Amino acid sequence: MDISSYILLSHEQALRRRLDIAANNMTNSNTAGFRKERPVFHEYVERMDRAPGDDMPRDSRNASFVQDYRATQDNRQGEFQATGNPLDVMIDGPGWFAVEAPGGGTAYTRAGFIKVNEAGELVTSGGQRILDEGGGPIAVPPDDRASLSIAPDGTVSTITGPLGRIGVTAFDDESALVPRGDGLTDGTDGRVLDAAETKIKSGGVESSNVQPIVETTELVDILRTYQSSMRMTAALDDMRRRAIERLSRLG
C-alpha cells in the first residue's frame, strides 16, 4: 500500500468518527439536557524519508494525515420544555446539577427530572441522588412531600421550612467535561454557585440543543464526502492496475 492509500484511509477514519458523533447527536435529539458534540481533528504531517527524486520540493516530501484529536460539547443552552411537574427544573444559565455517580464520586447533569425516592431523598430520573451545595443528599420528611417546592435559587422547601439548596456547579472550561454515556458528565475543578448566582426555572426541563435538520445535513455531507473518497480510491487502484499491465508488457 503506497502513501496515498494511507492518507485516504486516515481521511475515511475521520469520516467514520464524524458519522458516529452525528448519529449519536441525532439519537439524543429528544434527550433532556443533552448537548451535542463536534469532533476536532488535527493535521499530522509526516516527512517522507525516501522521496522519488532528490530534486523534489521540500513540501512535496511531506504527507498530511488526519488525526482524531477529541470531541467537544456545544455549550449553548437548550430551550425550556414545560412538563407541568413542579419538581422538574432547568438551570437558566451556566452550571450543572451535581449528583452521586454510580459507583461513588460526583457526576453532573443538565437534565432536571427530579423525584423523591422511597428513602425520601431527591433523585434524578435515573435514581442518582441530587447533592446539595455541601455535597450531601437532600432528604424530605414523609409528611411534607406534598408541599415540596424548589425556589429559583435552588432552595428546596416544604410547608415546615427549607430543607437544603440544590448544588449547581459551574466550570470555567466546559470543553474539559467528559460525557459518561449514561446521561451524566464527569468534570473537575468545578465551583458551586452561591444562591445569588443560581437561576433555576421549575415546571420544566432543558431540552436537547441538537438541531435535527443540521445533523441531517451533516450526515448527508459525510455520505457525499465518503463517496468522493471511494471514487478516488477506485481511481488510484485503476491507475496501479494499468501501470502493472504496461510493465508486464515491457517485461
pLDDT of residue 219: 94
Closest CA to 96 of 176, 193, 28: 193
**How do the domains of the chain map onto residue ranges?**
3-75+210-250, 80-206
Closest CA to 124 of 197, 190, 192, 31: 31
pLDDT of residue 251: 57
pLDDT of residue 69: 80
Average confidence score pLDDT of the chain:
88
CB 168 within 8 A of CB 130: no
Half-sphere exposure for 72 (CA within 13 Å, toward CB): 10
| Residue range 47-81, pLDDT digits in tens | 666 555 455 555 556 777 787 788 888 989 999 99
What CA–CA distance (Å, rounded) separates 106 from 194? 19
169-199: b (≥16 Cβ within 10 Å) or e:
bbbeebeebebeeebbbebeebebbeeeebb
| Residue range 8-61, pLDDT digits in tens | 888 888 899 999 999 999 999 999 999 999 988 877 777 666 555 455 555 556
CA distances from 229 to 3, 135, 159, 218, 222 (A): 15, 51, 66, 16, 10
What CA–CA distance (Å, rounded) separates 197 from 229? 50
What CA–CA distance (Å, rounded) separates 61 from 49? 8
pLDDT band at 167 (very low <50, low <70, confident <90, very high): very high
Say what percent of the chain tops pLDDT 70.
Answer: 92
